[in-house]
Amino acid sequence: DPDGGSDASVVTKTRPKTQRPPMYKVMLLNDDYTPMEFVVHVLERYFGMNHAQAFEIMLTVHKKGLAVVGVYSFEVAETKVAQVMEAARRHQHPLQCTMEKE
């Protein structure tokens, strides 16, 4: 500083934005007809839950109307939704599974 004044020293650290892929919530919706045990089975089979976890989440959906059952990349979320909807169709249950960007 040629004038002898005091320079305020401010250190700015740049933090490069790291790109993370968007994540998607997979949700199960309640209905009046799908048997509770079928929902528990779906949660065990496609979402890797143990029986106690699956039962708990099923009850949450039953009471609250819906619940997030997992968060995945787009492709994985799409596959989970398709698997659940196909299992519901095969068994002729009206169970609905949807995904939404987090």
Q: Which residues bind ligand TYC (CB under 6 A)?
A: 28-32, 34-36, 39, 58, 61-62, 95
- Give the residue from 47, 56, 48, 62 showing the smallest Cα distance to 99: 47
| Region at 50 (left for phi over 0; alpha for psi -120 to 50; beta for the rest) | beta
Q: Tell me which H or E stretch contains 35.
A: none
- Least Å from the CB of residue 37 to ligand TYC: 9
Q: How far apart are CA 29 and CA 25, in angstroms?
A: 13
Phi and psi torsions of 83, nearest 5°: -65, -45
CB 73, min distance to ligand TYC, A: 23
Task: Between 13 and 90, name the residue whose CB sits nearer to ligand TYC.
Answer: 90
Nearer to ligand TYC, 17 or 90 (CB): 90
Minimum CB distance to ligand TYC, residue 88 (Å): 9
CA 86 to chain centre: 19
Of 23 and 29, the one with the shorter C-beta distance to ligand TYC is 29
Name the residue nearer to ligand TYC (CB basis): 75 or 94: 94
